[in-house]
Structures are given as structure tokens and as C-alpha cells.
Homo-oligomer: A and B are copies of this chain.
Amino acid sequence: MVVAQSGGPSMVINESLVGAVMAARGSSRIGKILGARHGIVGILGDDYVDLRKPSAKKLEAIARTPSSALGSCRRKPSAEDCKAIFESFRRLNVGYFFYIGGNDSADAARIVAEEAEKAGYPLVVYHIPKTIDNDLRSCDHTPGYGSAARFVASAIRGDDLDNRALGGVKIDIVMGRDAGFLTAASALARVREDDGPHLIYLPEVPFSEAKFVRDVKAAMKRFGRCVCAISEGIRGRDGVPIGAKLGTGETDSHGNVQMSGTGALGDSLARLLKEKAKIKRVRADTFGYLQRSFPGIVSETDRTEARAAGAAAVAAALAGRLTKGTIAIVRGRSRKYKVSYAPVPIERAAKHTRSLPREYIAQNGHDVTAAFVEYARPLVGKLPECEIL
């Protein structure tokens, strides 16, 4: 088997890797366990790691380490690429291919699977879900989301206390290019009536500068200060992300425009408030890559599920009901939080994403509902308690 990681890293993507490797080690039907470095780029360059070698202790340490231990890539395989992949696989006698990533990675795995069928190369392909954006259609929630959401909620809780001390407006830009799940998680920071975030802006609600200025003025009047959690993916009525217009225009091979790794959106909104709302102290932070990589900020539920999803993919591949699948994370309907892992067709995760459902978005267009908080709380876990005078 070959396993690889693709797309943006997360806090728990290595849990899925280790889950898959441990499951494979436990089966007599798997021979070599190879990790390709930097996703399909490693396959194309014959850059493999022997994953039978590391001790269980080392694998556990890898599992607890943020980012993608095998390295990552953002590459959509061409028909040419696929030919080269099968040559490599043939040479190494590869029958199973596991690809851990988000919707673009699922789509890349789907392409490999379909090209394998066309080429008559016998290959079982499984996508293992991972994305901090929580936007896979196949999952109630995705491994990686709970931990990133925990970072965001914790950061907002601390930042809200900072804003209490010095006042003014604080803008915090949160990751999530198309879906507002991660920005919505900022609401978990609230305990008291006047806790921030006071305003939450999601990509799912068309962003209006005039409304934003009005909202901030109203919050300043009510709370004497204002903390805003704003998605990097907010867009106007034209549907074009505002951050993309301000950014570098750089795109990856899946056509995604760069939005993270720049403070342009936050700075532009801060300028707007200073000019239009005449507020003196306005600060903007862009949480950036720390949301997916800060060591130790992990949701234990997320960690457990990421491991289980990796193991489930190997079990499903060996069971052989689907030749191209992904693992759906299904949430039980009982009050007590419980999930199961179901193999489903890979198309369910590939390419198209989901947005934050309407019932999670508040009527006023700048908040989330209690239903969202109920949905997200068990994924994130208990946050550090904070007390005020």
C-alpha cells in the first residue's frame, strides 16, 4: 500500500496517517507500507518512506505532532501524471492507495482511481477525510476541524479579555475560504452576556461594508468595545471574496486563490472602520497558519476520530466493497455524542464543498445560532476557564 498526505496540514492529520499505518501493520494481507513524500509529487518522484520501520513509540510521537509528517502538495493529477503513478505502483506492486486530505485531495484520489480503471490497473483507492474548514459533504464534521476550532475559540477568548482591558475594536480574521464553520467556532468563546465575539461575519452571508460599519457602531454603543470574528472568505454580493481582491492573485493548481498568509483583509477592514466609523483604536490580527499548526492545541475528540478514520479506511479497503471510497463520519442521533465511520463512494467527498447550513446562521447576518453551538461544542471540548473582576 501507499499512503500520502495532501492539501493544508492540520493538528491531527498525522493521527490519521498513524491510524492507517497501524491498521495495515495489523493485517497479513498488506506487504510493504510506503509513505509517499509530498503527496502525488512523491509518487511521481519515487520518493517513499518505509512505514514498517518506525517503532510504535516513534509513530505515537508522529501522531501527536502537528502538520503533515510525509509532507504535502496542492497538485491535481493530469492523465500523464496518472500514467507515471501507475508505472511506479506497478514496479512496487501497489494494490492500495490512501490519500489523506480535503475535497481537492479527494478529487485528486478520484482522478487516480478513475484513470486506474481506464488503464486496467487494479487499485483500491481510499480518501481519508481531513480539513480544518469542515466543508466535506461526506462528513458530519471532518478530522482537523475540532482542533482548529479549539484554537480559534481559545484565541478569541483570550483576545476578548485583551480587548476588555484596552478597549476599541478588534478584528480577527479566521481561516476558511468557502465555509464559515471555523469562524463560527469563535462563538464557543462566549460565557458571559457581554463576552466577544460581538460580531461574526461568514462567507455564507454577503458582506456589506455599510452594514459592517453600522454593526460595529451599535456594538460599541452597547458594549463600549467590539471584537469581530471575520472569515477570510467573506464576499460581497458579486460572490468574489474580498480578500482575494486585496491579495496577491496567486492560485494553486486546483484554482484556489491565496487568502491566508497575508494581513491585507484585516488591515483593509480596520482602515474602513477608522475612516467611516471614526473609531480611534482599531486593531486587526489574522490568525493565519497557527490555526492549523500550534503544538498542543488539540481537541481530544478530534484526535481520537482522526486516528479512527485512518484505521477505518484501511479496514474498508481490505473489506473490498468499494474500489474507490472515502470514510464518512456519521453522528448518532442520540443526545450523547457518538460517531461511526462508514465507507461511502469517493465522489461524496470530492471537489464540491458544503457551506455552513442556514439553520446555523443567525437572522441578523452577523452571528451564529444556539443550534450551531450545540453542534460544535462536543467537537472542540472544554476550553480553559477565564474569570473577570
Query: Using a CB-CB cutoff of 8 Å, which residues 50-65 of chain A contact chain B?
Result: 54, 58, 61-62, 64-65
Please determine whether A267 and B274 come into contact, CB atoms closer than 8 angstroms: no
Q: A49-B389, A165-B72, A262-B267 are in contact. Are A289 and B159 (CB under 8 A)?
A: yes
Q: A283-B261, A283-B289, A387-B65 are in contact. Are A154 and B70 (CB under 8 A)?
A: no
Quick one: CB contact mask for A79-123 with B, threshold 8 Å, 1 for yes? 000000000000000000000000000000000000000000000
Please determine whether B66 and A161 come into contact, CB atoms closer than 8 angstroms: yes
Please determine whether A164 and B67 come into contact, CB atoms closer than 8 angstroms: yes
Please determine whether B164 and A385 come into contact, CB atoms closer than 8 angstroms: no
Please determine whether B295 and A384 come into contact, CB atoms closer than 8 angstroms: yes
Quick one: CB contact mask for A128-157 with B, threshold 8 Å, 1 for yes? 000000000000000000000000001101
Please determine whether A384 and B155 come into contact, CB atoms closer than 8 angstroms: no
Q: A8 — which chain B residues lie within 8 A by C-beta? A: 166
Q: A261-B285, A263-B266, A295-B384 are in contact. Are A290 and B165 (CB under 8 A)?
A: no
A365 CB–B CB distance under 8 Å = no
Most buried by B among A54, A162, A170, A385: A162
| Chain A interface (Cβ < 8 Å from any Cβ of B) | 5, 8-9, 35, 38, 49, 54, 58, 61-62, 64-74, 154-155, 157-159, 161-162, 164-166, 170, 248, 250, 260-264, 266-267, 270-271, 274, 280, 282-290, 292-296, 383-389
